[in-house]
Amino acid sequence: MHILKYKNGELPHINYLDKVLENWFKQGIKTTEDAYEQIIKREEVIRPSSKQVKKSSTTPSWVYDYLEKLDQDEE
């Protein structure tokens, strides 16, 4: 879900997901808690100025609902 949010609602290719997973394992991230802590640390350093979700006709509507909820939870 983090990658979906990071990619602004665009569903990434499976090869991208594999690379992220491989990178996380190299960093010692093996649980969702580890991943969450790493994401929070990184977001503290790099804060995007504005978030825009690019809507695609192939992306299910629940994705946009989820991303919108995440944005509201951050505020």
Can you read off the two tokens belonging to residue 31? 């649980």
Report the amino acid identity of residue 54: K
pTM over 0.75: no
What does the pLDDT read at residue 70?
80
Q: Residue 6, Cβ neighbours under 10 Å: how many?
A: 15
**First and final C-alpha spacing in the chain:** 18
pLDDT band per the 50, 70, 90 thresholds, residue 1: confident
> 19-70 pLDDT, tens per residue?
888 988 898 888 888 888 887 887 777 665 555 556 656 677 787 788 888 8
Are 21 and 15 in contact, with CB atoms under 8 Å apart? no
Under 8 Å CB-to-CB from 27, ≥6 apart: which residues? Answer: 38
